[in-house]
Amino acid sequence: MADAMDSKSISPKGSKGSSPFLGTRSAQGVEMVESIDREMGERLVRALLPVFLHRVRNSTQLLSGIRSLLEVSPGDVPPSCADDLGQASSEAFENGWLLGVLASALGADVYGERERSDGLEPLLRWLREALLREQRVLTWRDGEVPALRATAGAPHSAAWSAALASLVFESCVASAGTFRLGFTAGAESHAITLDRAHAEAARRAFTSSALPSAGARLEFEDGGWRLDVPATWLEFVPWD
């Protein structure tokens, strides 16, 4: 470990008093989302954009292949093309979500009132790929990632996801090795844990975000951290 962890927690009262809430405000007609500060947002975007571009290139190659078949052999296109188009459609939907999260990381809200409850798991997959490019390994248990809740007491899914992604990325990229995420449901709050992390990087990412002001609490323990968030933010579904 490059930095020793301690047992102290960072709560709303102990964090930066100027941290904005995870919400929106109007600026010159553009809805802005203040979820993480500009420096952290730019670092997250730099890390995730290559993942996005790689996915777009793969989808473009797939669609170009289908177009070639339609032009060269009209009337003799294999049924598998329909499945390929369905795959491209699904990836385009996920890519749009990723772009929305990246926009939130830089302060722009492209979603408005729209939410995506199942957006956390694909974002973590993209984050895992970005960390692999940095020779870091991020793992979690399949089927364990909870849904994002679109309730009155929860922050916007894109803004909240950007803040969490930044916290995980900064916690991992400052150290080497393998990191494991965990998710635990509670009555009043839910816990997201990272089994090992760079303490100073995690503390800086957390206090530079809107998470403390929105009601989240970060505690360092056993070489890692636990992020407690209000129960209204996440929804756990049964899994085997």
pLDDT at 107 over 80: yes
pLDDT at 29 over 60: no
* Runs of H (alpha helix) within the chain: 38-72, 80-105, 120-132, 157-173, 199-207, 211-214
Cβ–Cβ under 8 Å, residues 176 and 199: no
Helix (H) or strand (E) holding 225: strand 224-230
Share of the chain above pLDDT 70, in %: 82
End-to-end CA distance of the chain: 34
**Mean residue pLDDT across the chain:** 83
Cβ–Cβ under 8 Å, residues 11 and 217: yes
> CA 165, CA 37: separation in Å to the nearest integer?
13
Q: Summarize the confidence of residues 61-79 as an average pLDDT.
A: 85
Higher pLDDT, 234 or 110: 234
> CA 156, CA 85: separation in Å to the nearest integer?
30
**Burial (CB count within 10 angstroms: exposed 0-12, middle 13-18, buried 19+), residue 34:** buried
| 37-49 pLDDT, tens digit each | 899 999 999 999 9
Confidence of residue 214 (pLDDT cuts 50, 70, 90): confident
pLDDT of the residue at 17: 37
Cα dihedral: 201, 100, 143, 209 (round 10): 30
| 127-185 pLDDT, tens digit each | 999 999 999 999 999 889 999 987 776 778 888 889 999 999 999 999 999 999 999 99
